[in-house]
Amino acid sequence: MTQRITPELRQWIVEQAQAGCAAESVLQSMKTAGWDEDVAIDAMETSLRGHLDGLAVAQGQPPTVSAVPEPDMADSPLYIDVGDRKVAVVSAMAKPRVVVFSGLLSDEECDALIDAARPRMSRSLTVATKTGGEEVHADRTSEGMFFQRGENDLVSRIEARIAKLVNWPVQNGEGVQVLHYAPGAEYKPHYDYFDPNEPGTPSIIKRGGQRVGTVVMYLNDPIKGGGTTFPDVHLQVAPRRGNAVFFSYERADPSTRTLHGGAPVIEGEKWIATKWLREGEFV
């Protein structure tokens, strides 16, 4: 039977730490009570990390910082060599780290992704951090589907290209998600990281840790609307076919200023492919 890490358990772990109990004794108490050792260790790590992050925020300090993907921008390059092509750098912002690329995908690759995804589309879901599952949410009105990582030659080629572009292992990426936005469809501003204070987050991050970066690839040109917006920094990226926007977030906190959304499509339709990058290997 699967053992569920409840909010009550996490609170108990925090209380033991506050009382000065050694980690070894807390772990032993959980094992004696019937908890699987791996589950107990995971519960302790995520509970205490979330507690420390909460204290830091309360004291005006940012929570835990993670290593993040990062394109090689040291010499302000016009192009980045990703092995099978050179991808043009259109613009870059340091805080938050946002880089817009041109020509990440060819027209043929854009069409092939749309054609492969179209028969598998369904109403897009969002991650339910309260439960660790997925749910329909009114803020997201697109249709979507996921390719498995390395599902076919096209997906593998794009994943390898992204890995080289942002210097992050292929295995640390979730599967490519293709999304379709009809006229009026949108995705209201949100964060891509998983809220560490939500009860479902520990089960979500067991598959590869936190999300630390996002690549949004544009597969067609909407006639009007559909840009990717970053409200905190007053930035909007136009959804031009073959281009992409990359952004990273070193901590699961609004201080990263990575609030972003998909503006409503006013005329035409929008197709995008999204690649989320995790701290560790995504399984």
CA 212 to chain centre: 6
In the chain, % of residues over pLDDT 90: 68
Model confidence pLDDT, tens digit, residues 48-89: 766 666 655 555 655 666 789 999 999 999 999 999 999 999
- At residue 126 the predicted structure's pLDDT band, cuts being 50, 70 and 90, is low
- Residues in CB range of 273: below 8 A, 6 or more apart: 105, 113, 158, 176, 177, 178, 179, 216, 217, 219
Rounded to whole angstroms, the Cα distance separating 200 from 224 reads: 37
pLDDT of residue 23: 79
- Please report, as a single letter, which amino acid is at residue 45: E
Look at the domain 79-278 and name its fold. Answer: Jelly Rolls (2.60.120)
pLDDT for 123 equals 75
What are the domain boundaries of the chain?
A: 7-58, 79-278
For 136-147, write each residue's pLDDT tens digit.
Answer: 566 667 789 999
**Please, how many CA atoms are within 13 Å of residue 60, restricted to the half-sphere of its CB?**
0
Nearest residue to 183 (alpha-carbon basis) of 122, 228, 242, 225: 225
The answer to whether residue 209 scores a pLDDT higher than 60 is: yes
pTM score:
0.75
Q: Which of 133-147, 189-203, 260-274 has the highest mean pLDDT?
A: 260-274
pLDDT band at 25 (very low <50, low <70, confident <90, very high): confident
Q: What number is the average pLDDT over the span 171-190?
A: 95
Question: How far apart, in whole angstroms, are the C-alpha atoms of residue 142 and residue 111?
Answer: 19
